[in-house]
Amino acid sequence: MVQIASRSLKWAYALTVLAAVLPIGLASSGWVALTTGGTPLQAIPFVGPLIFLALGVYRVYRVARVSGTLDSWQTVGVARLCRMIGVFGLYAGAIIGVLNVFSGPLLRLLMGHHSQSGIAFYVAGVYFALLSAIGLLALLLFEFSRLQAFEQHARERAP
């Protein structure tokens, strides 16, 4: 039996992927990247991030335009647990990504006055950068569960 991805899951998936590949919000500031160590894709200054961005945008396009892209066979056991955690994490990652985009204006609204050091923006950026790992882990778990489901289905159909 096929598990059909809901519209909200597709939105959460797309927002989580975009939050992972687009350098926006407080989590993308230079000081935050220096604090958290940046990403391994920064080893090649422009090529790595551009490839990552292109793959992410292509994946979001496929999810948006091709129905059934996120569908998979029923999962059992560990794959089912990975899928449940992954789906929950996708929703959390989407919320964190959207909050990261609007974090600057939200902090300005919540703070009565702006400090000269900008420490509040720095700390918020670090937390958003660290919390964005939830979305990446969720993507990994969700796709791993789909892979396990397809492999299980192929084993069942093999003679």
Beta strands in the chain (DSSP E): 2-3, 72-73
The stretch 105-125 carries a mean pLDDT of 72
What is the residue-averaged pLDDT of the chain? Answer: 81
Return the pLDDT at 34: 57
Assign 113 a pLDDT band (cuts: 50, 70, 90).
low
Q: How many domains does the chain have?
A: 1
Q: How far apart are CA 29 and CA 41, in angstroms?
A: 16
**Which structural domain, as residue segments, surrounds residue 6?**
2-157
87: pLDDT strictly greater than 90: yes
109: pLDDT strictly greater than 70: yes
81: pLDDT strictly greater than 90: yes
Q: How far apart are CA 148 and CA 94, in angstroms?
A: 24
What Å distances lie between residue 145 and 5, 56, 100, 102, 108, CA to CA?
13, 19, 27, 31, 40
The stretch 11-32 carries a mean pLDDT of 74
Return the pLDDT at 20: 79
Across 20-34, 41-55, 138-152, least confident range: 20-34
The stretch 76-102 carries a mean pLDDT of 91
Return the pLDDT at 30: 58
